[in-house]
Amino acid sequence: AQSVTQLGSHVSVSEGALVLLRCNYSSSVPPYLFWYVQYPNQGLQLLLKYTSAATLVKGINGFEAEFKKSETSFHLTKPSAHMSDAAEYFCAVKRNTGFQKLVFGTGTRLLVSP
Amino acid sequence: DTGVSQDPRHKITKRGQNVTFRCDPISEHNRLYWYRQTLGQGPEFLTYFQNEAQLEKSRLLSDRFSAERPKGSFSTLEIQRTEQGDSAMYLCASSLEGISDTQYFGPGTRLTVL
């Protein structure tokens, strides 16, 4: 079985500060990992994905994440927060073979203050 | 490139009524997924189609729920005899079978059962 834990339901940063959103996963097989962003009353937009190639993955809007197998982590970072980054962020895991469903964490709401 | 579209975006219904939602995937995508998202939670998998075949169903999908994907194109999700607990955002995603099988989400249909 697979699962995702996102530490911190809310993270607050100032504009220009580092963003760090934490994600730890559990998987019995090598995983694929994803970060999605959701703005109010909208669907999910893919930020980035890890599919067993490079462990440091760059995504859209200046976000990146590093896959660390030893720590079973896939934390999302951005060097400098913008007001437009305020949204809900979801980490998700999927098996790299077989059954195709995404298993999501409970999400982290990012608040950005001026 | 047209993304995943869903119709309607919002649906308000009375308890006991039937509702049907439609999802149009990205045109070349052969896989289609339905998820449900309740307030403050991450999306939860409901069901998955490969072409017209429904290959997986979550135990969350009670007998009152049915999904179809005729001819492997658009999909419909029907809920019969709606209950207040069915109030949620219903998300559709599609993907192209391949190495990473990345799922792209539509804007969702928000269902409110009074």
**Cβ-Cβ contacts under 8 Å, A106 against chain B:** 40-42
Q: Is A95 in CB contact (< 8 Å) with chain B?
A: no
The answer to whether residue B105 scores a pLDDT higher than 60 is: yes
Q: Which of A34, A46, A100 faces B48 most closely, judged by CB atoms? A: A100
**Cβ count near B107 (within 10 Å):** 18
Residues near B97 by beta carbon (within 8 Å), at least 6 away in sequence: B30, B31, B50
Query: Which residue of chain B has the CA closest to A89?
Result: B42
**Cβ-Cβ contacts under 8 Å, B31 against chain A:** 100
Query: Is the bond preceding residue B107 a cis peptide, omega within 30 degrees?
Result: no
The C-alpha atoms of residue A102 and residue A32 are separated, in whole angstroms, by 9
Burial of A1 (0-12, 13-18, 19+ CB in 10 A): exposed
Per-residue model confidence (pLDDT) at position A42: 84
**Banded model confidence at residue B9, pLDDT cuts 50, 70, 90:** very high
Displacement of CA B19 from its chain's centroid (Å) = 12
Q: Which residues in chain A land under pLDDT 70?
A: 98
The answer to whether residue B10 scores a pLDDT higher than 60 is: yes
Q: What would the pLDDT profile of B32-74 be if each residue is shown by its tens digit? A: 999 999 988 999 999 999 999 999 899 888 899 999 999 889 9
The bridge status of strand A31-38 relative to strand B88-95 is: unpaired
Among the listed residues B84, B107, B63, B102, the one whose alpha carbon sits nearest the alpha carbon of residue B13 = B84
Tokens of A73: 């982590």
Query: Which residue of chain B has the CA closest to A90?
Result: B42
Tokens of B11: 């649906």
Per-residue model confidence (pLDDT) at position B1: 56
Tokens of B86: 């069915």
Say what percent of chain B tops pLDDT 90: 82
Query: Which residue of chain A has the CA closest to B46?
Result: A101
The C-alpha atoms of residue A96 and residue B46 are separated, in whole angstroms, by 19
Q: Is A90 in CB contact (< 8 Å) with chain B?
A: yes
Tell me the residues of chain A between 60 and 89 that have a Cβ less than 8 Å away from chain B: none
Torsion of CA A60, A78, A6, A50, to 10 degrees: 40
HSE of A35 in the Cβ direction (CA atoms, 13 Å)? 29
To test the contact with chain B by mutation, choose from A37, A44, A50, A97 the residue with the greatest count of B C-beta atoms within 10 A, namely A44
